[in-house]
Amino acid sequence: MASLKELRARIGSVKSTKKITSAMKMVAAAKLRRAQLHAEAARPYAAAMRRMLGELAGSMTGQDGLPQLLAGTGNDRVHLLIPITSDRGLAGGFNSNINRTTRLTIRRLQSEGKVVKLLPIGRKGYDYLSREYADLIVDHVIGVGGKEIPFSAASDLGAKVTALLEAGQFDVCTVIYNQFRNVMSQVPTPLQLIPLGLEEAEAKPDPNAAQYEFEPDEQVLLERLLPRNLQVQMYAALLESAAGEQGARMTAMDNATRNAGKAIDRLTQTYNRTRQANITNDLIEIISGAQAV
């Protein structure tokens, strides 16, 4: 049995762990609120963008020479996966869920005979994937999920992806990110960015609405809107992931704090029992010593 001194030290160390986890929980809660506000504030832009794109794509369906960003390259051979993870750990299953989903997707695609390329975002995903699939990684981005995510981070990413597409590096591009359901649950979700699912973008033209005029013309507008849309989608995924990270960390730290509390209770009980046993022992020794005299 552990000595009293050892027990005291353990209780002390669990207590300070509990202090840390509960502080991290508070911090995550505060950051979560901010991240959620950000994610919500970015929604109207994405929604308006989708509406315009739908209108535009609707008026252009059936035409030839649609940009690659919309229609893809016509092939389905090389897949680019973009898993979004956080840079920091201690967030429960947040990163490992993404990593697992990514690994399963890679296996599935490879068994179908496709070529897979990776562009991991976030340190955790990069570290994990570079162990097993180092040769598949074409590029990686670290340090995006900081305090606030500027839109420029998403536009840089978008530019990177567009450049790869133009260089003929891939045919299909899918982002895998944690969708923020609520504080307790983040769902790893694949989102195909290129080619853009036309069913989604396709407008159901309102028969009563007047025909749109376009300036300068449809082609130019589409060429400008599509890269923008890519960036906006990326931005939305980054923000959702950031909110999810804080949510996951908050839940994880809440659990850790509760567990530490339980461990302290258990250790305190053992400590008290040991102390009692020691006292009893001492008394027995004294009494039997006195009787012997």
Partner 1 sequence: MPIKVEIISPEKVLVSRDVDMVVMPGEEGDIAAMPEHAPMMLLLRGGTVTLYEGETPTDHYFVGGGFADMTQTRCTILADEAVPVTEISIDAATARLEALTEAWESADKSDVSRLEGLMSKIQSVRAEIDAGAGG
- Using CB under 8 A, list all residues that contact partner 1: 38, 41-42, 44-45, 48-49, 51-52, 55-56, 151, 154, 209-216, 220-221, 224-225, 228, 231-232, 235
Q: Say if residues 25 and 254 touch (Cβ distance below 8 Å).
A: yes
Minimum separation from the CB atom of position 146 to partner 1 (A) = 15
**CB-nearer residue toward partner 1: 24 or 237:** 237
The DSSP bridge pattern shows strands 115-118 and 78-83 to be parallel
Q: Say if residues 79 and 103 touch (Cβ distance below 8 Å).
A: no
Q: Say if residues 145 and 241 touch (Cβ distance below 8 Å).
A: yes
**CB-nearer residue toward partner 1: 164 or 232:** 232
Minimum separation from the CB atom of position 47 to partner 1 (A) = 9
Minimum separation from the CB atom of position 90 to partner 1 (A) = 28
**CB-nearer residue toward partner 1: 133 or 177:** 177
Token pair of 120 as six digits: 């991991």
Phi first, then psi: what are they for 80, rounded to 5°?
-105, 120
Listed in sequence order, the residues at least 6 apart from 81 whose beta carbon sits closer than 8 Å to its beta carbon are 102, 105, 106, 116, 117, 118, 119, 174, 176
Minimum separation from the CB atom of position 208 to partner 1 (A) = 11
Listed in sequence order, the residues at least 6 apart from 42 whose beta carbon sits closer than 8 Å to its beta carbon are 235, 236, 239
**CB-nearer residue toward partner 1: 60 or 137:** 60
Token pair of 175 as six digits: 């982002």
**CB-nearer residue toward partner 1: 199 or 213:** 213
Minimum separation from the CB atom of position 170 to partner 1 (A) = 20
